[in-house]
Structure 1
Amino acid sequence: MAKNYSIQKSPFLVPTTDGKLIEEHFGKATDGNSEISIAHMIAPSEWSEPFQTPEFDEYTYIIRGKKQFIIDDEKIILESGQSIKIKKNTRIQYSNPFDEECEYLAICLPAFTPETVHREDE
C-alpha cells in the first residue's frame, strides 16, 4: 500500500563555495518537486550573495542569528523568530554581515532552480 507521506532523512547537500550550508529537504534536487522547495540553511558570519530577481516567492524563517535583506534598496534585518515573504520578481540581496552565523529555513514557491533565481553575477 502506498503511503500518504514521505519522511526526508537524506536532504540534498547543495555544493557551495562561500561557506554556506544548504540542505534541501524537498524540491527539484531532492525529489524532483517543481512546486515547492524547502531548505535548511546556515549562513556564516560575513556571508553575502549577489543581488537576484527570482521567479518565485520566497519565505524565510530565522531560527537563530540575524539576516540582512536589501529589497528594492530598503535594508531590513530579521532576527530569531521572525519571518518574511518576498514576492517573485523582486530584486533582493541576502547577507549576514554580523558576528554570528544565521540559521534559517527558506521555502520557495514554485521551487528554487538555478535557472529561475537570476543572480546578477551569472
Structure 2
Amino acid sequence: MKKYTIQKSPFVVPTTDGKVIEEHFGNATNGNSQISIAHMIAPSGWSEPFQTPAFEEYTYIIKGKKQFIIDGETIVLSAGESIKIEKNTRVQYSNPFTESCEYMAICMPAFSIDLVNREDE
C-alpha cells in the first residue's frame, strides 16, 4: 500500500462568478471531511456574501491581493502573506483590486456548503 497520494486531477468546483476553485483534497475530491486544500483564483471585482463558517480557514496569497472583512475589521493581504481565521467567525472575502488574486485555502474540517453558513445577499 502506498503511503502517499499525488493529486494531478483536482476537482474543479463549478462557479458562476468567474472564480476558479480547484480542490486538491477534501470532500468533493476524495471524500476527506477532515481537511480541504484548494487552489483558487479570484478575478478582479469578485466578492462573496458574509459567512460564519464552522471550520478554521487558512489562506496563503500567491499572487495579487485579497480583502477580508473580519468582525467589521478590513484586512488586506498581499502575495507571500497568510492568515488563519478561527471557526465561527463572521467574514467576507473579496477582491476589489484591479488584478486577480491567486491563493491557497486550507479548511479544517473540510469545506462543505453545509458548514459555510453564508448570509443571504
Q: Normalization by structure 1: what TM-score?
A: 0.98
Match of 2:2 in 1: 3
1:91 deviates by 0.1
Match of 2:82 in 1: 83
Q: Give % identity.
A: 76
Q: Structure 1 CA distance, aligned partners of 2:31 and 2:97?
A: 34
The residue type paired with residue 9 of structure 1 is K
Gapped regions of structure 1 (runs ≥ 5): none
Match of 2:116 in 1: 117
Match of 2:23 in 1: 24
1:121 deviates by 1.9
Runs of 4+ in 1 over 6 A off after TM superposition: none
Q: Structure 2 CA distance, aligned partners of 1:26 and 1:60?
A: 15
1:110 deviates by 0.4
Mapping for residues 60-99 of structure 1, pairs under 5 Å: 60-99=59-98
The 3-state SS of whatever aligns with 2:29 is helix
The residue type paired with residue 76 of structure 1 is I
Q: Structure 2 CA distance, aligned partners of 1:98 and 1:9?
A: 30
